[in-house]
Structure 1
Amino acid sequence: MVRTLVMIALGAFVTTLDNTIVAAGAPSIARDLALDLPALQWVSIGYMLPFAGLLPVAGALVDRRGQAATLRAGLLAFGVGAAAGGLATTAWLVISARVLQGAAAAFLVPALLSLLRTNLDERGRAVGATVWTACLAVALALGPTLGGVLSEYLSWGWIFFVNLPFVAVMLALLPKVAVAGRDPAAGRPAAGSMLVVTTGMVLVTAAVVELGEGAALLPAAFGIAGAGFAIWFVRRERRARERLVPVELTGQRVFTGALTVQLLWGLGVSGVFFFTPLLHQESLGLGPVLAGLPLVVVAIAVVAATPLVPWAVPRFGPHRTVAAGLATVAAGLVAVAAVNPVPEVLPRVPGLVLIGAGSALTTPLTSYALEVVAERHAGTASGLLTASRELSSALGVALIGAVLAVVRTARLGEGARAALAGGYTAGLLTAAGLELLGAFLALRLLNPRAGQSSSGGDKRGAPFLSSR
């Protein structure tokens, strides 16, 4: 059990770290490679989109090919991408390395999450899911600080090289962890549907990124094309013999609710994590290390609040626990927005504490969603859950970036620093609104009684179904 938990923790941390580690080093990358804001966003989004797009089919491959082969191939590809990114000298090479790492992470994550169902008992799954989600939140928060330290004292290339020790340890640990073999009875991956939905996600994200540039025609074209691919995907899924998303999952109210709520959580916090170090450097004049350091407060708050989750869920239910967490995150975002005009870091700390503590309370999303699905769909369900998070991260960077860019452009007459601060405030308030929407939907969609009535008799969520 301990080795499985260590493997899960390392994988959760390193694959999530790459979502935010570029944040504090982004200005250095931009200066060295002459990148503008949209190109800089793609350095981040280039990791998240293939991660999200490949996850559903990757989950099916885990079920079909087995955990050992998937983990080994994913770790090797992730390491190659890390080495290539650290040695890159052009924007296209950096983005290509990020795409390779994102694709590799898409296969690593569902394989690691499926260990929760195959290697651990009911109590162990709850512990493992809490460890997994806590590592995600800590990595999201620590990423900018670590990126700042590496880019300031070494070079931004070390933002990539730092992944290699994690890869080496996990490869060494893999033979010592019990893993399931291939399952020839598992369905074939729906590669065609995956290509359609991934293309749609890329087009929609590109539309949001371009929206921040003030253009009208290009975002509209990308948006219409993306919507067309989304409609195509839905129709294709209805007719397909081998679906990308099994009908047993789409008909499970709690599972689809968890996907939706997780999407809104990521939309709110991911863009803020990416742009906070940029604001601290460009508006407050801090160096890369100090710019990312305040986000350590978020990580500390996550760790401190995580022990409250096992206490809260049996007493209040997963739906109320998650809703309270999202509402707390929203309060933290509003608190940071309220003090943003003050050119100091210290007043932002209380808001950051609330963001971290609230994020910790959202950890039941993963464990509860996995409990209500059949074991044969463990890999696919794990892939979809993480796809929702990664898609929300990509769209969050694009959306908050678009809001920031539009408001900054409108306020350029006030000076560059004031305009950037105004755009950041608008982004914070937008994120807070998304978190509140997520809290409302959590109360409606994650209600255990509603999940019981729509789960088709699957009682795997029994530990939560007794909650009031």
Structure 2
Amino acid sequence: MIRRTLVVLALGAFVTTLDNTIVAAGAPSIGRALALDVDALPWIALGYMLPFAGLLPAAGALVDRWGRRPALTGALLAFGAGAAVGGVAGSAWLLVAARALQGVAAAFLVPGLLSLLRTNLDARGRTLGAAVWTACLAAALALGPALGGVLSEYCGWAWIFFVNLPFVVALLVLLPGTVPPGRTAGTRAPPAPAMVLVTASLVLLTTALAEPRFRLPLLAAGTVLGVAFLVRERRARERLVPAALTGNRVFLGSLGLQLLWGLGISGVFFFTPLLHQEFLGLGPAGAGLPLAGVAVAVVAATPLVPSAVARHGPFRTVAAGLAAVGAGLLALAAVNHVPALWPRVPGLVLIGAGSTFTVPMTSHALDVVAPRYSGTASGLLTAARELSSALGVALIGAMLTSVRAVRLAAGAPAGAALAVGYTAGLLAAAGLTFAGALLAVRVPGTRPAETSSPRDKRAVP
């Protein structure tokens, strides 16, 4: 059961995260095929990220209510359908719609799979499972652009989407022996008004960053709905987010760390292959390949995480990892003016190694919640990461295009103008990541009584 659970976690983490970044190196090819300009390219990624991030808080609660196996089965079928439609799409709107279907499905997949850390594994197994999950997540972030570039250059961009299908089939085969058929005991139907308010608010706020023409009204509408959600949660008897989670400072601290980590690296990862193509003159495959160094660093550093947590504690380990990520971003910014590839590799490797040591953000946060809230907690943790991914792409994209436009107006070559905008994005991302490192050392420690095994009296048999 333990090995099977780890395999399911690895496949699920990899494929759902892969769809965040696999379009990065292939986006220029898709743009040429569908006649899209640079400003429209982020929507290929945001079409997936927005529904993924926006639905996660509600989806996690629904997974607890419906049961993991039926929720995961339906989500996998929808994810595969979206991948198939995306591969045959002949227009921008159909491609974005297919990506949105995949995003909706992923919103149910991730909390359902991640909650297995709490229900299928004991405390020691959760640390290993979280390490596997985060390693596969970081590897997918790093390998996605390289894989997308290779597929786009040698097989055609449609295979960027078709490559998801083998993962879907494998997970469907493994589910029956890994996920129990029943639903978690003691769960209630999540309140529909709260689900609508939080989903609409998150989607509108994130869209505002990516759509400058309607930024102010989108921000206003998203803020109003967000405040309405908070007011309702404070007053309602039936809450979407249980008080056991909102009153847990360790869990809330982990949410904040997920947001800052995702803001720091997601936008940079999305635009790095574009920079490599436009500034360094590489093809799609070569443009994404350097990010493979991030994946190598993740794999190399993963065995070191448990001993670091045992010696320094979870959040000091996370702080060190975030500081390393910030240092890697600064290292990239320092050499970004150089029109060569290899000076960038040390910074990328440092980003990958540092990201590996952020594993306790997930494992420790799930340690301090009861099993009956594992789906909701997993959904909120992943929502923080995915929301930050969408915000990161939108924020770094807005900075990059704004600075690029100023440099173009001043007569700079197109590639050099893009590089200056990318540097501005790197500096902003580094600042956010260092802020996460400072937050990590201020998250309170956990009392032993707050952790438990899935075999305790609260666990689901």
Q: TM-score per shorter chain, which class?
A: over 0.9
Is the contact made by 2:185 and 2:372 (CA closer than 8 Å) also made in structure 1?
A: no
Secondary structure at the counterpart of residue 414 of structure 1: coil
Contact 2:186/2:372, CA 8 A, preserved across alignment: no
- Structure 2 residue aligned with 1:6: 7
1:423 to 406, 421, 425: 421
Q: Note the C-alpha offset of 1:408.
A: 0.5
Cα distance in 2 between the residues matched to 1:174 and 1:430: 41
> Offset of 1:26 from its aligned partner?
0.3
| Residue matched to 1:122 | 123
Aligned residue number for residue 438 of structure 2? 440
1:336 partnered with 2:337: no
Report what 2:384 is aligned to. 388
- Contact 1:20 1:273 (C-alpha < 8 Å) held by counterparts: yes
Please state how far the C-alpha of 1:221 moved relative to its aligned partner: 2.0
- 1:285 pairs with 275, 281, 284, which one? 281
Deviation, structure 1 residue 4: 1.1
- Which of 361, 364, 367 aligns to 1:368? It is 364
Aligned twin of 1:237: 233
Shift of 1:42: 1.3
Give the RMSD, CA atoms, in angstroms: 1.4
Is contact 1:115-1:179 (8 Å) kept?
no
Distance 2:86 2:236 in 1: 38
Rounded to whole Å, the distance in 2 between the matches of 1:337 and 1:2 is 41
Report the counterpart of residue 18 of structure 1 in structure 2. 19
State the Cα distance separating 1:458 from its structure 2 match.
Answer: 2.5
Q: Which of the numbers 377, 401, 405 marks the counterpart of 1:409?
A: 405
Deviation at 1:105, TM superposition (A): 0.7
Answer with 288-297 or 308-317: which moved more.
Answer: 308-317
Check conservation: 1:118, 1:180, Cα contact below 8 A. Answer: no
Q: Which amino acid aligns with 1:52?
A: A
Equivalence for 1:202: 203
Confirm whether residue 162 of structure 1 aligns to residue 163 of structure 2. yes
Amino acid paired to 1:195: V
Q: How does 1:90-109 map to 2 (within 5 A)?
A: 90-109=91-110
Once the two structures are TM-superposed, the CA of residue 207 in structure 1 deviates from its matched residue by 1.9
1:190 CA displacement: 2.6
8 Å CA contact 1:188–1:242 kept in 2: the answer is no
Whether 1:146 aligns to 2:147 is yes
* Mean CA deviation greater in 230-239 or 170-179: 170-179
State, as a whole percentage, how many aligned pairs show the same letter: 67
Opposite residue 442 of structure 1, the aligned amino acid is A
Contact 1:38 1:210 in 2 (8 A): no
Q: Is the 8 A contact 2:141 2:269 kept in 1?
A: yes
- The 1-side partners of 2:183 and 2:199 are apart by 26
Taking the aligned partners of 2:381 and 2:71, their CA distance within structure 1 comes to: 18
- Secondary structure (helix, strand or coil) at the match of 1:444 reads coil
In structure 2, what is the Cα distance between the partners aligned to 1:176 and 1:205? Answer: 38
- Paired letter, 1:250: T
- Unaligned 5+ segments in structure 2 are 454-461
Structure 1 residues 146-176: Cα deviation after superposition (integer angstroms, max 9, x where no partner): 0001000011111100000000111111222
Which digits, 9 at most, give the CA deviation of each residue in 1:102-149, with x for residues without a partner? 110111111111111221222211111110111100000000000001
The aligned counterpart of 2:182 is 181
Return the offset for 1:178.
Answer: 4.3
Matching residue of 1:466: none
Q: 1:311 aligns with which of 307, 310, 322?
A: 307
Are the counterparts in 2 of residues 60 and 380 from structure 1 also a CA contact under 8 Å?
yes
- Does structure 2 conserve the Cα–Cα contact (< 8 Å) formed by 1:271 and 1:398? yes
* Alignment partners' CA distance in 1, 2:73 and 2:39: 34
The answer to whether the 8 Å contact 1:7/1:173 transfers is yes
SS of 1:401's equivalent in the other structure is: helix
Following superposition, the deviation at residue 64 of structure 1 comes to 1.6
Counterpart-to-counterpart distance in 1, 2:333 and 2:451: 43
Instruction: Give, in whole Å, the separation in 1 of the partners of 2:176 and 2:3.
Output: 14
Q: Please tell me the residue identity of whatever aligns with 2:413.
A: G
Deviation string, structure 1 residues 424-454 (Cα, Å, up to 9, x no partner): 0000000000000000001112x31xx43xx
> What residue in structure 2 maps to residue 66 of structure 1?
67
**2:289 is equivalent to residue 297 of structure 1:** no
Contact map agreement 2:15 2:167 (CA 8 A) in 1: yes
- 2:216 and 2:403 map into 1 onto residues whose CA distance is 19
- Give the TM-score of the pair, scaled to structure 2: 0.95
Query: Alignment length, in residue pairs?
Result: 450
Q: Is the 8 A contact 2:123 2:452 kept in 1?
A: no
2:57 and 2:380 in contact (8 A); partners too = yes
Q: Distance in 2 between matches of 1:351 and 1:190?
A: 45
> SS in structure 1 opposite 2:450?
coil
- Structure 1 residues not aligned, in runs of 5+: 462-468
TM-score after normalising by structure 1:
0.94
SS at match of 1:286: coil
Aligned to 2:343: 347
Taking the aligned partners of 1:175 and 1:418, their CA distance within structure 2 comes to 53
Query: C-alpha separation between the residues in 2 aligned to 1:124 and 1:104?
Result: 27
Choose the corresponding residue for 1:222, options 218, 221, 224. Answer: 218
Bigger CA drift: 179-188 or 320-329?
179-188
Residues 57 and 379, structure 2, Cα contact 8 Å, conserved in 1: yes
After superposition, the C-alpha distances for 1:167-202 in whole angstroms (9 at most, x for unaligned) are: 011111122224251246311123322221222222
- State how far apart, in whole Å, the 1-side matches of 2:451 and 2:167 are: 37
Greater shift in the superposed pair: 198-207 or 3-12: 198-207
Deviation at 1:204, TM superposition (A): 1.6
Question: Which residue, 257, 264, 269 being the options, matches 2:260?
Answer: 264
SS for the counterpart of 2:90 is: coil
| Residue 373 of structure 2: aligned partner | 377
